């Protein structure tokens, strides 16, 4: 089963080319018929699908608006960059802006496509792209993601959290407030643990209770972080 790459694409150009492209894109309901869209006489083989289209399938919602076409939806594993690069060579008035994100493979980006080729606007990890795309929406989603990772025990320390993209993608001035919001939302408590074997070594860990921390580190000095 393929990972789903989400795409948001806007296309502008002259009305004649936009109308023709819209007809091609909407020939089939629920998915894009690559052969029809590209005007090919023969089926696109598996061996050439990624070079010609960039993905195995693409199932967007498609809307014709006054000055263009908007597509939003999933493709398999990767965005259909090659498809729209080939279309821009056929429909030379097109100006295409494509944003895409895929959490499983941890990537996201934004590109512009026209008859002259592809221009990269942004490339990064999934969370870096979310922060680039809509920072305030990213802040809310990042808090929810951190809560989930802590509550499910996927991360267990403040160091783990600070090493994640959801933290490193924050603006510096937002990091303190983000940590406070995470501590308010998670079911775990944060404890500062100082190890007696080496007083210079300490760690802040997420646990249900101080008793749980002491069971794990019976000789450590434990203090709850508020």
pLDDT band at 53 (very low <50, low <70, confident <90, very high): very high
The mean pLDDT value for 100-105 works out to 95
- Cβ atoms of residues 186 and 206 within 8 Å: yes
Domains of the chain (ranges plus CATH)? 4-131 (3.30.70.1270), 136-225 (no CATH)
pLDDT digits (tens, 9 = 90+) for 154-163: 999 999 999 9
Q: What is the pTM of this model?
A: 0.88
Determine the Cα–Cα distance for residues 137 and 41; give it in Å rounded to an integer: 44
Determine the Cα–Cα distance for residues 47 and 14; give it in Å rounded to an integer: 34
pLDDT digits (tens, 9 = 90+) for 12-40: 999 999 999 999 999 999 999 999 999 99
Structure tokens at 50: 């990624």
**At 172, is the secondary structure helix, strand, or coil?**
helix
Q: Mean pLDDT for the chain?
A: 94
Q: Return the H-helix or E-strand segment holding 102.
A: strand 95-102
- Is pLDDT at 133 greater than 90 in this prediction? yes
């Amino acid at each position: 089963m393929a990972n789903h790459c989400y795409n948001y694409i806007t296309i502008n150009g002259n009305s004649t080319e936009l109308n023709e492209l819209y007809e091609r894109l909407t020939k089939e309901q629920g998915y894009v018929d690559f052969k029809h869209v590209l005007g090919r006489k023969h089926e696109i083989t598996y061996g050439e699908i990624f070079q010609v289209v960039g993905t195995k399938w693409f199932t967007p919602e498609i809307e014709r608006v006054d000055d263009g076409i908007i597509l939003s939806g999933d493709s398999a594993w990767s965005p259909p960059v090659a498809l729209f690069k080939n279309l821009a060579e056929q429909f030379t008035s097109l100006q295409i802006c494509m944003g895409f994100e895929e959490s499983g493979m941890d990537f996201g980006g934004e590109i512009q496509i026209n008859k002259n080729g592809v221009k990269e606007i942004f490339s990064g990890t999934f969370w870096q792209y979310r922060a680039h795309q809509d920072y305030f929406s990213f802040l809310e989603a990042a808090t929810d993601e951190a809560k989930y990772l802590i509550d499910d025990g996927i991360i267990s320390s403040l160091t783990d959290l600070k090493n994640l993209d959801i933290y490193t993608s924050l603006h510096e001035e937002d990091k303190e407030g983000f940590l406070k919001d995470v501590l308010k939302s998670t079911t775990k408590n944060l404890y500062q643990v100082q190890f007696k074997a080496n007083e210079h070594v300490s760690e802040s860990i997420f646990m249900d209770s101080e008793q749980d921390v002491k069971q794990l580190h019976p000789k450590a000095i434990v203090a709850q972080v508020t």
